[in-house]
Amino acid sequence: MSTPRAYLFVPGDAPRKMDKALTAGADAIILDLEDSVAPARKADALTAVAAFLDARPADATPEFWVRVNAAEPTAALEELAALPLARIAGIVHPKLERHDQLERMGAWLDALEARDGLPAGGTRILGIVTETADALVGEHGSSLARGHPRLRGYSWGTEDLSAVLGRPPLAGNTDAHADLARMVQRHCLLLAAAAGVDAIDGISADFRDQAALARSCDYARELGFVAKLAIHPAQIEALDAGLAPHPDALAWARRVRAAVVDAPDAAALTVDGRMVDRPHIDVAERLLTRAGEPGAT
């Protein structure tokens, strides 16, 4: 399938919500074993998620991801070992701070894919990279820019970081909240660009405010995000529309591609009266690929 635009979180201890999510229209569903599940419910959630995945065909759509308790390595490995990896696209790694954590997750997946007779490297990783202060300013945080062969993308969030900072999470649309969100949003965007992976925008907590959600999607798309996390099925339609490449941008990209075809050896071209060179051509090709129009330049 094409790159997902909407990743919908569903609590892992809520089988009815997991079933309902199948018809929500999301490109990807994240079955959560971490923050949305109370500690006393973790074991039940793992059992429920494994059973839900076992009931899905191997080539099922949408994509299925699982957010594990990666901050507790022993728990995370136990969760991974209990999951039917053949049924999932990847693992969401929360509170990701350092490259060695990616390497550890990758090594675990190497072993479990071999155990299950699966192709090596098929299980991807999606990292949440702004949930701790160390992730943002620690000496190893920039190592995440190196990426990893399994890495699908990076996303961001402020809820756990707010707790570290001693402020109420989801404190509303105050200037302080907006400043914090924009800071970590840009950090995520640049890390993803450096690693060469998808930049996936964080959640919009007020799922009832569709106008604000639409503005958030437009803003994220203009920055360079290609997808967004969702917490409610009511958000999916807006995410799918708002994160799609803009029609004007696609039209420009097609004109760039046509100009390249007409002058394949030119280092710089003129499109719409403006100079276009390799960075612009690369952007145009990425836009067209996301829109389902891959080509070669």
Which parts are annotated binding residues for Mg(2+)?
131, 160
DSSP assigned state of 292 = T
Q: Which residues are annotated as a binding site for substrate?
A: 67, 131
Residue among 275, 90, 297, 109 nearest 198 (CA): 90
Alpha-carbon distance values, 158 to 42, 55, 95 (Å): 23, 34, 11
User: Residue 9, Cα to own-chain centre: how many angstroms?
Assistant: 11
Asked if residue 251 lies in contact with residue 293, where contact means CB atoms within 8 angstroms, the answer is no
Amino acid at 75: A
Residue among 183, 203, 199, 197 nearest 130 (CA): 183
CA distance 96 to 161: 12
What is the crossing angle of helices 73-82 and 99-116, to 10°? 30
Q: Which residues are annotated as a binding site?
A: 67, 131, 160
